[in-house]
Amino acid sequence: MDKGRVILEEDHFRLTIERLCHQLIENYDHFDDACFVGVQPRGTMLVDRIVQRLKAILKIKHIQSGHLDITFYRDDFRIREKPLQASSTMMDFLVERKKVILVDDVLYTGRTIQAALTALQHYGRPDRVELLSLVDRRFNRHLPIQSDYVGLTVDALDEAYVKVEWQEQNGEDRILLFASKS
């Protein structure tokens, strides 16, 4: 992969998460009837960071959140060259009659979110599902899916690739844009 261009550095990354948290607070207050679900594997870093920051801002101890694996709900899992490895689903609650904030790092074609919505049905019927994406790739959507909360909108050609790097895994928080995935 070629050397990526940084499109969001650490300070603005932190501010973006802060802004998303305040938008959520405006709509959900103390999150009594809401829960967060991070899409495995990349949405879990974001959901954990959002929930941690919300608890600090609101000075509360608990906001319901979980991690949802979608591996075998994807429409392409059978056509991969090598077998997929599933991540762990960590959801000890049902979403029945709750407002669900589904969280993923990058919204591109919409297929990951379609799979997440299907997997989520095994945990009940929520009152509402909203989508939070750190990055919305806007072009090349295959399905009519859009984010309700967006950290950054990126207009990139089909060959381009957006990568979110997290301090916990990569040593710093930032978003990179690569000219091609190869």
The string of pLDDT tens digits covering residues 103-121 is: 999 999 999 999 999 999 9
Cβ(152)–Cβ(135) under 8 Å?
A: yes
Question: Residue 80 — very low, low, confident or very high, per pLDDT cuts 50/70/90?
Answer: low
Cβ(175)–Cβ(7) under 8 Å?
A: yes
All domains in the chain, ordered by first residue? 16-155 (3.40.50.2020)
pTM of the model: 0.92
Mean pLDDT across the stretch 127-144? Answer: 94
How many other C-beta atoms are found inside a 10 Å radius of the C-beta of residue 15?
Answer: 12
